[in-house]
Chains A and B, each alone.
Chain A
Amino acid sequence: GAGVSQSPSNKVTEKGKDVELRCDPISGHTALYWYRQSLGQGLEFLIYFQGNSAPDKSGLPSDRFSAERTGGSVSTLTIQRTQQEDSAVYLCASSSQRGAETQYFGPGTRLLVL
């Protein structure tokens, strides 16, 4: 079956612009996660969704970052007024249910803010 897909695969934007990153989780997976991977750093947890609700937003770095999930499936991560330090790979993962051990990652969206 299809894995987690993300789009776009690459995004170049100018400082101050808004960007939207999309994640399609594995069909039937109720749990969805967003992580950020900066150069030379590990993955940094951003936000978790269970269904359409986000019980854990603790990792969002600032109020410029927001995310939503509609229909318990597709999720969008929005970064407003992008800054150069937002340049990173944004990874989405899904798991079959809350607390499931395996998180399946997508290939990521590489964001470059000029």
Chain B
Amino acid sequence: QQQVKQSPQSLIVQKGGISIINCAYENTAFDYFPWYQQFPGKGPALLIAIRPDVSEKKEGRFTISFNKSAKQFSLHIMDSQPGDSATYFCAARRGGADGLTFGKGTHLIIQP
């Protein structure tokens, strides 16, 4: 049973455009939702995270939108740049648990 579903699998966006990646979860016990960015040959790095008591969090060009009732959250990358080309993973963690449950990832390509 896949507990965090991520879409799309791949995404191509023009430079300066908005990249949007969506995730849906099933387990209502999840209480922490991070996004990780991974470049080829590197480990994932935390990009931005949100807890379900807020509906939106913004850090620079990156925004998480969170819809608790729909059990969905999304990553928006504004003014996308070629350097943003990477694989992005959404994840979730249950309160009291330690391991993260990851989506399958989105391969993002920003075309110059």
Does A101 contact B34, Cβ atoms closer than 8 Å? Answer: yes
A70 within 8 A of B: no
A56 within 8 A of B: yes
Residues of B within 8 A of A55 (CB): 98
A59 within 8 A of B: yes
Task: A93 to B56: give the CA distance in the assembly, Å.
Answer: 27
Give the size category of B's interface with A.
20 to 34
Chain B 30-51: CB-based contact to A (< 8 A → 1; otherwise 0): 0010101000011111100100
CB < 8 Å neighbour of B101 from A33, A45, A99, A104: A45
28 pairs across A/B with beta carbons < 8 Å? Answer: A31-B98, A33-B98, A42-B6, A42-B89, A42-B104, A42-B105, A43-B44, A43-B89, A43-B102, A44-B102, A45-B99, A45-B100, A48-B98, A48-B99, A50-B98, A55-B98, A56-B97, A56-B98, A59-B99, A91-B43, A98-B98, A101-B32, A101-B49, A103-B100, A104-B46, A105-B36, A106-B43, A107-B43
Which are the 7 A-B pairs with shortest beta-carbon distances? A105-B43, A45-B99, A42-B102, A43-B102, A42-B104, A48-B98, A105-B44
A interface residues with partner B (beta carbon < 8 Å): 4, 31, 33, 35, 40-46, 48, 50, 55-56, 58-59, 91, 93, 98-99, 101-108
